[in-house]
């Protein structure tokens, strides 16, 4: 999981999931450990907020609130190919919880 997230391939599923679920990513180096929100982690195509000497060591996914559902769709030209586009949506019927959506066009990274 950490390898896929650190690689930040815009066609990969896990970065989109991490964004939609508002994951926290823990980066470790000789300077210590810092926590990076998924929204701040992915910068662009194959580019993250990790410094050259940092390793991603842990990913935390907050538990979903009760009465929350999600959907994930991806499009590929052939079954099993890397996706050309993906979208994940998280929706709760509890009014205090805003809907969250994350997507990638397969080229520029999750947004």
Ligand X SMILES: Cc1cc2nc3c(=O)[nH]c(=O)nc-3n(C[C@H](O)[C@H](O)[C@H](O)COP(=O)(O)OP(=O)(O)OC[C@H]3O[C@@H](n4cnc5c(N)ncnc54)[C@H](O)[C@@H]3O)c2cc1C
Among positions 37, 55, 73, 111, the unique one binding ligand X when judged by CB under 6 A:
55
**Does residue 107 bind ligand X (CB under 6 A)?**
no
Non-local CB neighbours of 46 within 8 Å, separated by 6+ positions: 7, 8, 9, 10, 109
Span from 6-14, 18-26, 89-97, 103-111 in contact with ligand X (CB under 6 A): 6-14
Least distance (Å) from ligand X to the CB of residue 33? 12
Non-local CB neighbours of 60 within 8 Å, separated by 6+ positions: 23, 24, 25, 26
DSSP-based three-state secondary structure for 74: strand
Span from 18-26, 37-45, 48-56, 65-73 in contact with ligand X (CB under 6 A): 48-56
CA distance 98 to 13: 22
**Does residue 21 bind ligand X (CB under 6 A)?**
no
Under 8 Å between Cβ of 18 and 100: no
Q: Residues binding ligand X: what is the number (CB under 6 A)?
A: 12
Closest CA to 49 of 40, 60, 58, 59: 40
**Does residue 82 bind ligand X (CB under 6 A)?**
yes
Span from 4-12, 18-26, 33-41, 84-92 in contact with ligand X (CB under 6 A): 4-12
Binding site for ligand X (CB under 6 A): 2-4, 6-7, 12-14, 50, 55-56, 82
């Amino acid at each position: 999981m950490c390898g896929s997230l650190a690689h930040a391939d815009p066609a990969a599923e896990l970065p989109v999931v991490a964004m939609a679920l508002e994951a926290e990513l823990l980066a470790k180096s000789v300077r210590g450990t810092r926590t990076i929100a998924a929204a701040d982690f992915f910068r662009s195509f194959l580019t993250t907020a990790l410094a050259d000497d940092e390793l991603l060591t842990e990913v935390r996914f907050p538990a979903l609130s009760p009465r929350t559902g999600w959907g994930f769709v991806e499009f590929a030209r052939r079954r099993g190919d890397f996706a050309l586009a993906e979208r994940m949506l998280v929706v709760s019927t509890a009014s205090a919880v805003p809907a969250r959506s994350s997507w990638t066009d397969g080229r520029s990274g999750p947004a």
